[in-house]
Chains A and B, each alone.
Chain A
Amino acid sequence: MIDEDIAEATLKSAESKGTFLLAEVRTEERNSRNLSVKSSQVNNISTFQDSGMNVRIVLRSGIGFASSNLVSKAEGARLVKQAFKLAKTASRKNPVALSQEPAVRTDWEVRQRRPLVDISTEEKLEYLNSLDSAVMKTKVKVQGRYYEVKDYEISGHFANSEGSRIRSFLPRLKVESFNLVSAKGQTAQSIRQWGASGGWEKKDDWDLVHALPQEMRMLKKQLEQGRMVKPGTYDLICGSEVAGIAAHESCGHPMEADRILGREMSQAGKSFVSPDMIGKQIGSRYATVMDDPTVPGTYGYYPYDQEGVKARPRYLYKEGLINEFLQNRETAARMGVQSNAASRSEFYLREPIVRMANTFVAPGDFEEDEIIGDVKNGVLMHSFTEWNIDDKRYNQKYVSREAYFIKDGELAGPAKKCTLEITTPGFWGAIDAVSKKVGFDSAECGKGDPMQGMAVCTGGPVLRLRSVMLK
């Protein structure tokens, strides 16, 4: 149970130290559990209880952030002193400013039908073993079999000197799998993750007892029957997993305002996008990419960000145009706009920075059959394995995990290692059809220094890209 008096006392301590633009105190408690199974055997069982607090002091001369896993009034006072000193030391040439945002007083929580804390280790083990058994029953040769379930609840309290007070409760569930399938002297790997905000009931949505065996059979078929794609120009149909990773990597990341302003320049890098590119063409009129933290039940869900700003859907690319950057209060002030609630932190020890939530390509009005039916010579890249993108987010690569040739509007057998290496405008500019139904995948996005793994979703409908080079 978070003692909110400590936050109040810490804010008072900050007020007694002098003037500032903003003082924030964030307190968190987290209970986490982890179970992993390797080749039908328990590999590890862990349980954690963690709590901590941080203080962020914003002066015109700089920002100081101090955090600790001790929670007390004395520790709060120590963190205030330290954060003030750090903020003064920064001596910024360009003074810090923050966007003005309304104070918020609210409580929010994600409800659970089957609370994660009530699920026994035995039940989780039974679940993971059921996945492993289902995989084994396929008779596919699966050399590597590793499964993990992680779940946690975060209770939070946010207070700032402008009057915001936000209590929160967020449970999350995640299942990961690693499988290595072999056939005909070759191997194919499958590294997957499923995540949601909510209780144990969320696993039912994923239906992994059927989905994982299907994946093993698919990989076997790819190995046994797959033909290499002859390098050349094809129409490419991207499944929702591929649409989602492209939305995340070549839209979400380059549209992060801190990146655009250079704050991540020595780690995750800068962006090909500059502040004056709002309204500029980046893709075809079918290219609309959203980032929406408010989708209920998603892995990246939150209604208020960690500066206390109310979340809302953001249209990053809209009908092919660069539309809106992801902003926190500092970047928003520098660009003369309001924050759109993109400030997130992995946990209390880390500073909040600009992050994505659930980034996805917006649906269109095509049926999937129509999209494939209109392709004479093409490839369907249903899912991917290897992928990467450069640090300005302009040159990306996706290699298929599951792909099929398309001949005269029909699927024509598995395609092996289909490789798309393309620029960002090349990808978004080639889209000429988007399906109606959006699929989501969960992921951990890495950014920040120290690295902060952040719960996000990627997603999209089926996309058709005309005349792109495949390798």
Chain B
Amino acid sequence: MGSDLFYSIIIIISLGIFFYFGNFRASNKQTERPDRINWGKSVFKKLKKFGDKGGRF
């Protein structure tokens, strides 16, 4: 019973964090990076490029 209460509190706090902070934009440290993922590029093309380079990044 006690552990159920403990886990319930974790669930409520976690969901609270998700619904509160989820609405905010990420920090500049995250959004103003030159090495951000380009979601327009297919991951398959990246894998092909990776293979062409002999498995080196």
A, B bound: no
B interface residue numbers (CB < 8 A to A): none
A interface residue numbers (CB < 8 A to B): none
